[in-house]
Structure 1
Amino acid sequence: MTQSPATPLPAPKERRRLREARSLTQAALAARIGVSRATVRSWETGRTTPRGRKLEAYVKLLGVGTAPADGTMSGRQEGPAPALVGAGTTPSAAHRTAGERDRGPRGEDRPGADGRRSAGTPARDGTAPHRAEPDAGRDGDDGRNGPRATGRDDTSAEEGGGGREPSLTPAQAFDALYAFCAPALVRQTYLLTGRRELARESVEHAFQLAWHRWPEVAVDRDPAGWVRATAYEYALSPWHRLRPRHRHPEAPPADAADRALLAALLDLPPVYRRTLLLYDGVGLGLPETAAETEASTPAAANRVLHAREAVAERLPELALPEDLHRRLAELASTQRPRAAKPGTVRDHGERRARQWTRGAIAFTVLLIGVTALTLRTAPDHYEAPLSPPETVRGLPPRSAPGPLSEDELVLRDKLRSLTSSGPERLVPGIR
């Protein structure tokens, strides 16, 4: 999108940073310009661009003075993401606004938490903390996570670039999403399960399913969140207990503090563990955490509070959420489970899909064959069963009536003589 030199407009991510620098919310900015909040959100995500008087008012409220000749403004701070935040998370959810970072799940003020999500914590080796770069849309954020996953031609959201972005094939878009999400997602799943092999298998399974449903995942507003939810569901499946290798625990972390923290996490119920990891480890907001765990916002807040209390009861030094977030990041950074290459994951997913398809076809053919054989050999009418044979020894007794004996003739004559013409068959008499 191009802008006239007289009215320079910063890049979409820079617009949000400038708005927050002037302590303006999307609703306040929309009210001053006379547009809806959704319109401001579209401007900050690069979907649309203001024009005319709205453009002039928007630039004036952002406080844009001068800009480069191409009409863009930069101000991003590049740097690697922390161990848990960055890959595998929604960028706008990982880097909360200052007002939201200072509030816990119940909305209480937390002193000293202003850098909890925007800046990483120093590693154990004393390296400098990582600084997260600003991203679009915490207030009703519509920004997609990670690299562009659709592979469709789109007009460039950066100002001054009038051309079109080069299109990506589905395989290239999938590989970019995998490279962006898989490393951190494996570490997150390890904190969820305490098993390196299961964490790697869960992430690969989630991406294989994503590749199988790529037309659906590519247009999702949060592809990384889709993969993360699928990996978590697979990792927490109770059916893993029936597997033989699940009976043999893996080697715990070498550090005693890491072992204690991992044991405290694994002692939590799975749903509490997942909620705590999403909110305090990954850095999602409370509404996003509630939506991903399929719970209401008050229920998610209660789960976070109870999980924090359970962890603080065993590890009092982690009573503060900032310390818990830092320790979760350090524990995840100490584990380096290897994730397969994206091409290997795609090949395995396609091979598994072919095997399941062939198995379904073979089962259907077998079922049709058995049904046809049953119809061909089954009787079409009822046949009475034959009684079992019996062995006859000697002549059987006479069963048919024969000639009457003399006594029987006398009895018959007597009965005939005693009959009457009335309804009674016998006439009572005195003997």
Structure 2
Amino acid sequence: MPQSPATPLPSPKERRRLREAKSLSHADLAARIGVTSETVRSWETGRSAPRGRKRETYAKLLTANAGANANQEERTTTTTTTRTSTTAVDRAATEASPTPPARTHPLRTKPTPGTRSTSRPQPAAKRAAKPLTPAPMTSPAHAHAHAPASAANGHIRPLPVRVTRPQAARPPDQTPAQAFDALCAHCAPGLVRQTYLLTGRRGLAHESVERAFQLAWQRWPEVAVDRDPAGWVRAAAYEYAMSPWHRFRPSLRHPDAPPAQPADRAFLDVLLSLPPAQRRALMLYDGVGLDLPETAAETEASTPATANRLLNARETIAERLPDLADPEALHRRLAEVGKAEKLRLPKADRVRTGSEYRARFWTRAAIAFTALIIGATALTLRNAPTHYEPPQAPGRAISGVPPRMGPGPLTYEDTTLREKLRAELPNGQDRLAPQAR
């Protein structure tokens, strides 16, 4: 059952951008809020969310810089519009007059070498033009122009700007259930294939994606306003699929059936031999198509550490499979192996039903546990003593007083005589009659 958030917050990626725009580190922001640096990193990756007063303080620190950026973008847009309209007016005047007028408008003067033109789009505008969901991994015609090229010093060069098409806005009459179903239908096939390549298990891949969408439906008010709902669900699915606690499950102790093709089986063995951190970074960068900063943010690592993980993973794959030394060939191979397997896809209606059932179950369990604690507390208070009873002092011997004497044990003769007397007649003449000898 969906829960309504208390204070609206930007998306995790927007939180990181706003923090970097104010030149604040994780430690500085954590000191202002009163939490640790690891907690701030978890907030920026979407793994957790602040609550209560910390949420309000965190939102105020972020929105303080967001307002300044919005004003700057508005001024830039106004300047660009004015420049365009002035150019159109001057062009019309030039066509109407045989002699071109002198260009003395201040907005149309050439900028000096040390200044930047105001008509150039700002980074915030570029980020606003990015789509909400990245390109799916299964697209065969995916342009891999953003693949990192290894420089001479062994590092990953910066990525070029990707030309993306903005997604269509959600219709205003679309219900939350319809929007969730559309997100599930669009992202579920690619996520199931990605989680299968990360774990090598078909059942776990289906379960991970289904749990991720159940969590998304439970927190749908937060996910619906996120700039990247697909990334939110993907991070949840990856976290569940790569959890180390799955090794203790009896159903996952035995390996899953390998792929039918020998080439796919060899590639999957090499991929699963990589450490989990390298495997996830490789999947996000070469499989999904994220850039290096986004990959670093989703894996909760720095950009240099993420670059080293990518390079090490590629070196391992190129050493064991030389045909995949090219990043573009590696991307195509990831898509081919993912599409070759027949995997179950979660259904949106069943996901929503399962999410609501789990929410009701845990709510009732919490109520029952609370009632049990209240009952045990009431029973303890009912049986507890109402006044103080001092403990009894231990006994001690008193000198000068003889001990109380009592009858001692009978001897054998006394016992025999008692038995004989009891056997005689209690009354009558025979008892007192003397006998002659």
Q: TM-score range by the shorter chain?
A: 0.5 to 0.7
The partner residue of 1:84 within 122, 131, 138 is 138
Equivalent position of 1:226 in the other structure: 232
Counterpart check, 1:308 vs 2:337: no
In structure 2, distance between residues paired with 1:336 and 1:379: 68
In structure 2, distance between residues paired with 1:269 and 1:39: 35
* TM-fit CA distance, 1:313: 2.1
Give matches, 1:292-331, under 5 Å: 292-331=298-337
Equivalent position of 1:400 in the other structure: 400
* TM-fit CA distance, 1:266: 1.0
One-letter code of the match for 1:228?
R
* TM-fit CA distance, 1:39: 6.7
In structure 2, distance between residues paired with 1:350 and 1:204: 13
* TM-fit CA distance, 1:106: 2.8
Does the residue aligned with 2:270 lie in a helix, a strand or coil?
helix
Give matches, 1:132-147, under 5 Å: 135-136=164-165
The partner residue of 2:174 within 162, 168, 175 is 168
The answer to whether the 8 Å contact 2:130/2:164 transfers is no
Change (3 A) 1:191 1:363: same
Equivalent position of 1:368 in the other structure: 374
The answer to whether the 8 Å contact 2:136/2:288 transfers is no
The answer to whether the 8 Å contact 1:264/1:311 transfers is yes
Equivalent position of 2:189 in the other structure: 183
If the length of structure 2 is used for normalisation, what is the TM-score?
0.58
* TM-fit CA distance, 1:31: 5.0
The answer to whether the 8 Å contact 2:282/2:313 transfers is yes
Q: How many residues align?
A: 284
In structure 2, distance between residues paired with 1:102 and 1:310: 16
Counterpart check, 1:106 vs 2:112: no
Instruction: Identify, as 1 or 2, the structure richer in helix.
Output: 2
Does the residue aligned with 1:295 lie in a helix, a strand or coil?
coil
Give matches, 1:55-134, under 5 Å: 83-85=137-139, 98=145, 100-101=146-147, 103-104=149-150, 106-108=155-157
One-letter code of the match for 1:269?
P
The partner residue of 2:352 within 342, 346, 349 is 346
Structure 1: where are the runs of 5+ without partners?
A: 1-5, 8-29, 47-80, 87-93, 119-133, 137-142, 152-164, 390-395, 403-431
One-letter code of the match for 2:400?
A
The partner residue of 2:119 within 34, 49, 56 is 34
* TM-fit CA distance, 1:166: 4.0
The answer to whether the 8 Å contact 1:84/1:188 transfers is no
Change (3 A) 1:280 1:36: closer
* TM-fit CA distance, 1:340: 2.3
In structure 2, distance between residues paired with 1:199 and 1:219: 26
* TM-fit CA distance, 1:387: 7.6
The answer to whether the 8 Å contact 1:147/1:180 transfers is no
* TM-fit CA distance, 1:283: 1.3
The answer to whether the 8 Å contact 1:83/1:333 transfers is no
Change (3 A) 1:203 1:397: closer
Greater relative contact order (CA < 8 Å, ≥ 6 in sequence):
2
In structure 2, distance between residues paired with 1:329 and 1:272: 18
Q: Equivalent pairs: percent with the same residue?
A: 59
In structure 2, distance between residues paired with 1:211 and 1:282: 23
One-letter code of the match for 1:366?
L
In structure 2, distance between residues paired with 1:356 and 1:400: 74
Equivalent position of 1:212 in the other structure: 218
CA deviation vs aligned residue, 1:148-191 (integer Å, no higher than 9, x gap)? 5xx6xxxxxxxxxxxxx442100000000001100111000000
The answer to whether the 8 Å contact 1:95/1:135 transfers is no
Does the residue aligned with 1:399 lie in a helix, a strand or coil?
coil
In structure 2, distance between residues paired with 1:228 and 1:358: 29
* TM-fit CA distance, 1:336: 2.3
Equivalent position of 1:64 in the other structure: none
